[in-house]
């Protein structure tokens, strides 16, 4: 497949696209910050479809505004929804979507079917699949 595991700093400095698709944890909170952004190529494109807490948005704004990276696409932000006066909205090189990564007909149908199955299972005393863990 041509995939090679590399240290994160090497990834930042060599990747054209950096796409965040990981869980949000205390260990990776703000992993995309001024330090990470400064290591990225000038033509790098950052895409976050995971959780807004992975990106320090103030640092991202500064990097985009100064042209330190090419652009960003954010499906998630902190907070959600992002206030309309947030400076990220003013940037031409930043696309912000209203957390619609799962908004396909197929995904919504599957979510509806899972909710229906869990509701019926719960009401009839059967095991509920995909239980939500308490935080």
Residue 64 CB-half CA count within 13 A = 24
Q: How many domains does the chain have?
A: 2
75 and 129, same structural domain? no
CA 135 to chain centre: 20
pLDDT band at 133 (very low <50, low <70, confident <90, very high): low
- Within a domain: 29: yes
Dihedral sign (CA 12, 33, 66, 81): positive
Residue 27 lies in a domain: yes
Q: Do 53 and 113 belong together in one domain?
A: no
Residue 84 exposure: Cα atoms within 13 Å on the Cβ side: 0
What CATH number does residue 31 fall under? 3.40.50.720
d(CA 114, CA 129): 8
For this structure, is 99 an active site residue?
Answer: yes
Please report which confidence band the pLDDT of residue 135 belongs to, taking 50, 70 and 90 as the band edges.
very low
Q: How confident is the model at residue 25 (pLDDT cuts 50, 70, 90)?
A: very high
pLDDT (average), residues 83-88: 96
Which one of the listed residues 99, 100, 105, 134 is annotated catalytic? 99
Task: For residues 26 and 57, state if they share a domain.
Answer: yes
pLDDT of residue 131: 55
pLDDT over 70 at 36, yes or no: yes
CA 105 to chain centre: 21
Domain span including residue 114: 103-135
- Residue 1: inside a domain: no
Q: Are residues 58 and 119 in the same domain?
A: no
34: CB partners within 8 A, 6+ apart: 56, 59, 62, 63
Q: Measure CA of the first residue to CA of the last residue in the chain; give whole Å.
A: 37
The verdict on 57 and 82 lying in the same domain is: yes
pLDDT at residue number 101:
66
Are 118 and 63 members of one domain? no
Asked if residue 88 is part of any domain, the answer here is yes
Q: Above 90 in pLDDT, residue 100? A: no
Q: For the whole prediction, is pTM greater than 0.85?
A: no
Residues 67 and 35 in one domain: yes
Same domain, 27 and 65: yes
Residues 51 and 114 in one domain: no
């Amino acid at each position: 497949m041509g995939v090679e595991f590399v240290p994160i700093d090497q990834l930042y400095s060599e990747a054209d696209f950096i796409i965040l698709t990981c869980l949000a944890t205390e260990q990776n909170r703000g992993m995309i910050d001024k330090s990470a952004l400064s290591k990225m190529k000038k033509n790098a494109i950052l895409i976050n479809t995971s959780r807004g807490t992975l990106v320090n948005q103030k640092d991202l704004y500064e990097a985009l505004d100064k042209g330190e990276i090419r652009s960003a696409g954010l499906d998630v932000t902190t907070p959600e929804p992002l206030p309309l006066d947030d400076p990220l909205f003013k940037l031409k090189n930043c696309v912000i979507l209203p957390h619609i990564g799962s908004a396909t007909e197929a995904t919504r149908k599957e979510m509806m079917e899972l909710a229906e199955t869990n509701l019926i299972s719960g009401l009839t005393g059967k095991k509920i699949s995909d239980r939500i863990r308490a935080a």
